[in-house]
């Protein structure tokens, strides 16, 4: 299907979006020459495509998502329990429209981080800003700041992305200060920006993650309000892949090994 040729009004709108003010100032002159108008339309198309590509690259670098398995390669039959429909619906990013949160709960190695990375990647492709970080790195960095002004700047930085992905909440225990910092960050984003959290602990066990922290109930309340909770249960997929690689290596070594010669029987 052939794309419709942009109208002069649409072309001028593109020039404005690209902030080509000199071109806009001479718009009537340019559009009066059909050859020039055609050339300008091509140049605007190239410029918009190149800026879009560079913007995508910048946002991907800033997201710190790293390498991850695409959802298309995920073995849905491996987990004992997973709501595939809920995960695929999350990939449409509808939850970003009303700043809802997402909580992925399950044991180690079942695909929580993979799902979170795919959500972050889809968000960036759709034009949003995203940031992926482990809970340990996030809270460690915030707690290490020794001035209120530096802490406020860093909290504003983490509150800014359209989608913040906090990985591995529950793998370590944290102090009351860490709990307070996470509560402050979640509160800043509450009902304004979406947050994705992966955790190996049910919320009833978060008192063990943040022992004696008074804000835990309020923290969970803000995370859970209008949140989509996806529970994944099963054995570690990474352990499965490691076992498969080990079996493959053993089979390859056995195939390369020379056949043992039969012994000669003495007469």
DSSP letters for 202-248:
-GGGHHHHSTT-TTHHHHHHHHHTT-EEEE-BSS-HHHHHHHHHHHH
Which residues, 6+ apart, have CB-to-CB distance to 135 below 8 Å?
A: 166, 167, 168, 169, 170, 171, 172, 182
Q: How do residues 243-258 score in pLDDT, each as one tens digit? A: 778 888 888 888 888 7
Reported pTM: 0.79
The values of phi and psi at residue 134, to 5°, are -75, 155
Residue 199 — φ and ψ, nearest 5°? -150, 145
Q: Do the beta carbons of residue 111 and residue 204 sit within 8 Å?
A: no
Q: Which two tokens mark 4?
A: 């419709």
Alpha carbon distance 6, 24 (integer Å): 16
Q: What is the pLDDT of residue 263?
A: 60
Q: Provide the CA 132 distance to its chain's centre, in angstroms.
A: 6
Tokens of 185: 């960050």
pLDDT score at 261: 57
pLDDT band for 10, please (50, 70, 90 cuts).
confident
Looking at residue 72, what is its pLDDT?
94
Does residue 208 or residue 49 have the better pLDDT?
208
Q: Percent of the chain, pLDDT > 90?
A: 64
CA distance 95 to 148: 33
Tell me the backbone φ, ψ of residue 174, rounded to 5 degrees: -130, 160
pLDDT score, position 53 = 79
DSSP run (H or E) holding 29: helix 27-31
Inter-axis angle of helices 34-63 and 8-17, to 10 degrees?
40
pLDDT digit string (tens) for 103-125? 999 999 999 999 999 999 999 99
Predicted local distance difference test score (pLDDT) of residue 220: 96
Phi-psi region of 171 (alpha: psi -120 to 50; beta: other; left: phi over 0): alpha
Task: Give the DSSP letter of residue 94.
Answer: G
């Amino acid at each position: 299907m052939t794309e419709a040729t942009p109208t002069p009004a649409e072309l001028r709108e593109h020039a404005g979006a690209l902030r080509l003010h000199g071109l806009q100032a001479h718009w009537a002159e340019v559009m009066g020459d059909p050859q020039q108008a055609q050339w300008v339309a091509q140049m605007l198309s190239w410029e918009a495509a190149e800026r879009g590509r560079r913007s995508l690259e910048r946002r991907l670098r800033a997201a710190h998502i790293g390498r991850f398995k695409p959802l298309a390669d995920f073995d849905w039959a491996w987990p004992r329990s997973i709501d595939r429909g809920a995960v695929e619906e999350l990939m449409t990013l509808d939850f970003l429209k009303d700043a809802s949160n997402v909580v992925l709960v399950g044991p180690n190695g079942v695909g929580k981080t993979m799902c979170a990375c795919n959500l972050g990647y889809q968000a960036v492709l759709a034009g949003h800003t995203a940031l992926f970080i482990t809970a340990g790195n996030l809270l460690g960095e915030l707690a290490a700041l020794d001035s209120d002004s530096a802490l406020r700047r860093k909290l504003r930085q983490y509150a800014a992305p359209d989608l913040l992905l906090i990985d591995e909440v529950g793998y370590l225990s944290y102090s009351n200060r860490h709990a307070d910092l996470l509560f402050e960050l979640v509160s800043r984003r509450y009902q304004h920006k979406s947050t994705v959290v992966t955790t190996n602990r049910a919320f009833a066990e978060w008192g063990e993650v943040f022992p004696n922290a008074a804000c835990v109930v309020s923290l969970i309340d803000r995370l859970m309000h209008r949140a989509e909770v996806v529970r994944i249960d099963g054995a570690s997929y990474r352990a499965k892949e490691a076992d498969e690689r080990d079996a493959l290596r053993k089979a390859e070594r056995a195939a390369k090994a020379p056949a043992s010669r039969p012994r000669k029987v003495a007469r």
